[in-house]
Chain A
Amino acid sequence: MKELDLLKKDWKKREADFPKLSYNEIYKLIHKKSSSIVKWIFIICIAEFIFWTGLNFLIPESYLDIYEQFHLKTFLYVTQGIHYVILFVFLILFYKNFKAISVIDSTNLLMRKIIKTRKTVNYYVYYNIALYAILSLALNAIMFSNPETLVEVMSMENSNVNSKTFLNVLLFVQIVTFIIMCGFLWLYYRIIYGILLKKLSSNYKELENLNV
């Protein structure tokens, strides 16, 4: 096809128009900071590990005293122990997957490795959400099945609020908090995927479709 030959010829001819960077200009360039998505994914993943692990430390000591009254302290310590082992396994997996990302791989393989690394952290987040959901469900079930202890623990017996109203409000507040948390999480992942991974995912899909 003569048009394509024309294009090829012109493509070559235009090489002469490119600026030639000097030694010093290149030296300056290689000392600038990269803004690649791999770097951003790394930063975001580390932040997520810190956030989800840090949540544990936000629970005030007085809360543990409350659980103590329900004889749940040992249960919580054991859960926490297991949680740290799981966190460690996730960190190792993340590190291994991240290290495997290589810009010299084929485009297809490179994208697959980036997605795999990102998925490791997603699984960690899912695991955390599941853990928090199950734990709070279990704790609430135990606490609300012993309303006397709950009212006593919350030192409500001297207050003039009706204990039944108090329990209802407590339950309501918990449900609302849960819904708001879910909303924030949804928004967060929309932003992360929208900004960072949309292009990568669509390019990956296109390559995969080529291979079908």
Chain B
Amino acid sequence: MNKDLEHKFIDEFQKNQNIVHKVCRIYTNNQDAHNDLFQEITIQLWKAYPKFRGDSKLSTWMYRIGLNTAITLYRKSKRTIQTQDFESVLHKIEATDYDPTEEEQLKLMYEAIHQLSDIEKALIFLYLEEKNYKEIAETLGISEVNARVKINRIKTRLKAILNP
């Protein structure tokens, strides 16, 4: 592939690399796995770049390829290390019965997100990125109504963890 294209890609990628980092953060829970997935997404983006027409925003396109790589193409099992499941998190709160500070609430929410399935992670990720339901539905190939219903369910679950 020609050098101009390569140069253009690296330039644009450099400006938007946070998107890839964010996908890695939601799908992995250690630095090695993060770097590994980051590498695979970057390769997939570069391979697809010659076909990028510019009719959508580069960032939209990066979200899509990033998630597709994490959910479908990437196969390493390192990233599925279990930390804590919902039940044990719930149990902990009940047992200690303390008033969680913001920091603890965040910790619990991140832990809960790491327990979600790959698809649920994609939904909550796009929600956190403030994508509208139409874009979320198009990225995953589901209907807008179903995207909305599923995200609301995840939100309810997260809420339940914090307010048992």
* A binding-site residues for B, Cβ under 8 Å: 1, 3-4, 6-8, 10-11, 14-15, 18-23, 26-27, 29-30, 32-38, 40, 102-111, 114, 195-196, 199-200, 203, 206-207, 210-211
Contacts and interface: CB of A to CB of B under 8 A. Distances in A.
Contacts of B140: 106-108, 207
Contact of B128 (A7, A18, A35): A7
Interface in B57-105: 61, 64-65, 67-69, 71-76, 102, 105
Contact of B109 (A3, A22, A210): A3
A41 to B, nearest CB: 10
A19 to B, nearest CB: 8
B2 to A, nearest CB: 13
A12 to B, nearest CB: 8
B142 A207 contact: yes
Contacts, number: 141
Interface size class of B (residues with CB under 8 A): 35 or more
B119 to A, nearest CB: 5
6 contacts: A6-B105, A26-B13, A37-B73, A106-B64, A109-B141, A211-B146
A36 B69 contact: yes
A38 B102 contact: no
Would you call the interface of chain A mostly helix, strand, loop, or mixed? Answer: helix
Contacts of A109: 141
Q: Is the interface of B mostly helix, strand, loop or mixed?
A: helix
B26 to A, nearest CB: 9
B30 interface: no
Nearest to B26: A11
A108 B43 CA distance: 21
Given A36-B69, A36-B73, A196-B75, 19 more contacts: A7-B158, A15-B18, A23-B14, A29-B42, A30-B43, A33-B43, A34-B47, A35-B75, A36-B75, A37-B74, A104-B61, A106-B64, A107-B71, A107-B119, A200-B72, A203-B119, A206-B119, A207-B141, A211-B146
Contacts of A10: 106
Contacts of B132: none
Given A4-B158, A29-B39, A34-B40, A103 B48 contact: yes
Contacts of A207: 119, 140-142
B136 to A, nearest CB: 11
B118 A110 contact: no
